[in-house]
Structure 1
Amino acid sequence: MTTCFPIKPIRRSRFLPEEESMFHINCDNAVITSVSGTAEPGVFLIRVVEYYGKSKLVVIKTGFPVESATEVNLLEEALSELEVRNSSISLPLRKNAIHTIRIRMKS
């Protein structure tokens, strides 16, 4: 006989602190619209959309160490390597653009 134990919420906190988020972007004119895993372990795809028509260099902070980050097209073909420092990725955001980024975690 199988017994299920439901997950009980932690009552002392309603929100995950920013420093513990999986991804955080440092600007107001862009939004991370999707996060998805891939068939390859330790690799994520995120989509960033710029809404206000302003080009800007943004930093995406992650909650894990990053080995590499690559901007890809919709077919997931590499376009350009992005600068990675510790757990932060620099992305040159183009105005009114949709950016897809492949992020590989350090193992």
Structure 2
Amino acid sequence: MTSQTISGTGSCCTPAGTCATGAPADVQGGITTAYKVTGMTCGHCEGSIAQEISAIAGVTSVKAAAATGLVIVTSAGPLDDEAVRAAVDEAGYALAGRA
């Protein structure tokens, strides 16, 4: 995939609104990272994970999807993967890594 810079954002996002990694772009600022989480099966799982990750400093948005196992996190700056792993563990699930 070829990445392009969207005017004014300073990001590596394509005009279609995805980053070079394939994760949804946050064109209003911040960094969007996709993580793969195992063990999610329902909306309660999604909520538990979102609540724990939202408590990490700098996180502005969390969207978890049990159907795909993906958790999309938007933050003001780069997140420490170990902090995300600890939050997912606290919620009772396992972080498989970045998607």
TM-score after normalising by structure 1: 0.31
**Structure 1 or 2: more strand by fraction:** 1
TM-score after normalising by structure 2: 0.33
Q: Highest CA radius of gyration, 1 or 2?
A: 1
**Structure 1 or 2: more helix by fraction:** 2
